[in-house]
């Protein structure tokens, strides 16, 4: 994974979050406390503003700095969860540095992503089926790993990953939440998409679209 890829993704993510303000905002208003869009905007904006400072650093250090910054900038449950995700990715890259040349580049990114998702699950004590962002991130991770392991090209990987993100998001609609603020709503959460799952679907699309343009 290259620093330039991480930073161009960060810029694309910031633009995509802002472009989806209405969707994200209305979902957390319906089944949360209404701050998720503000949290995501604040987090993605601060990382976008650090691009010049991060550009000379190796990828694992960039991810580690992103993690620390998100922890202190985004409030709420999602701040700690995204911080764990990026810390997990950073740790994977740092510890597997020697092996990286043996893997294909897409598989390396998929493995780091999977490690990030695992870290998030441990932090949130959560799993798929609980109406959270994991309902998008887990199938995205699995799809990415399988497609990369089959040696598929980046265009095919991105198309499959975007599809997995869309399906994962839609899957949250009919779930009862067992984690986060929506857990207090019981069956009243049914019929609404999870806000965290929506912002993850938006971010996954933004990064894939960036790669598809290349
Ligand atoms: P808060 O819930 O503290 O107001 P946000 O509104 O920023 O924080 O984020 C809410 C989102 O966080 C939810 O929509 C859900 O996707 C995600 N979330 C909350 N708790 C967990 C958890 N334990 N594991 C995974 N995701 C979670
Ligand atoms: Mg909230």
Tell which atom from ligand 1 comes closest to the C-alpha of 200.
Answer: 16
* 199 CA → ligand 2 middle, Å: 12
What is d(CA 107, CA 84) in angstroms, rounded to the nearest whole number? Answer: 21
* 76 CA → ligand 2 middle, Å: 6
Residue 40: its pLDDT value, please?
A: 97
Cβ pair 169, 198 in contact under 8 A? yes
Count other Cβ atoms within 10 Å, centred on residue 183.
15
Domain boundaries, the chain: 3-213
What is d(CA 99, CA 195) in angstroms, rounded to the nearest whole number? Answer: 37
Ligand 1 contact via 33 beta carbon (within 6 Å): yes
Ligand 1 contact via 197 beta carbon (within 6 Å): yes
Name the residue among 156, 140, 113 with its Cα closest to residue 199.
140
3 state SS of 107: helix
Q: Taking the model in full, what pTM does it have? A: 0.96
What's the average pLDDT block by block, 10 residues per block, for the chain (214 residues)?
A: 96 98 95 95 98 97 98 92 98 82 84 98 97 98 97 96 98 95 90 97 98 88
Question: To which CATH superfamily is domain 3-213 assigned?
Answer: DhaL domain (1.25.40.340)
Residue 101: its pLDDT value, please?
A: 60
The terminus-to-terminus CA distance of the chain in angstroms comes to 16
Cβ pair 106, 157 in contact under 8 A? yes
Residue 23: its pLDDT value, please?
A: 94
* 38 CA → ligand 1 middle, Å: 13
Ligand 1 contact via 194 beta carbon (within 6 Å): yes
Sign of the dihedral through C-alpha 113, 114, 117, 118: negative
What is d(CA 205, CA 160) in angstroms, rounded to the nearest whole number? Answer: 11
């Amino acid at each position: 994974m290259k620093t330039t890829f991480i930073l161009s993704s960060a810029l694309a993510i910031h633009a995509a979050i802002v472009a989806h303000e209405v969707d994200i905002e209305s979902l957390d208003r319906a089944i949360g406390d209404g701050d998720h869009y503000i949290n995501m905007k604040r987090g993605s904006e601060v990382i976008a503003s650090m691009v010049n400072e991060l550009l000379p650093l190796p990828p694992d250090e960039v991810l580690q700095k992103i993690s620390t910054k998100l922890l202190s900038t985004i409030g709420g449950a999602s701040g700690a969860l995204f911080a764990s995700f990026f810390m997990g990715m950073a740790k994977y890259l740092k510890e597997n540095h020697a092996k990286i040349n043996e893997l294909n580049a897409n598989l390396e990114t998929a493995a780091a992503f999977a490690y990030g998702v695992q870290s998030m699950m441990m932090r949130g004590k959560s799993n798929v089926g609980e109406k959270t962002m994991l309902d998008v991130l887990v199938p995205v991770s699995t799809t990415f790993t399988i497609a990369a392991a089959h040696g598929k090209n980046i265009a095919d990987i991105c198309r499959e990953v975007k599809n997995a993100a869309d399906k994962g998001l839609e899957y949250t609609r009919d779930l009862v939440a067992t984690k986060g603020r929506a857990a207090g709503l019981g069956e009243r959460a049914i019929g609404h998409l999870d806000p965290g799952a929506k912002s993850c679907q938006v971010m996954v699309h933004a990064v894939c679209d960036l790669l598809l343009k290349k």
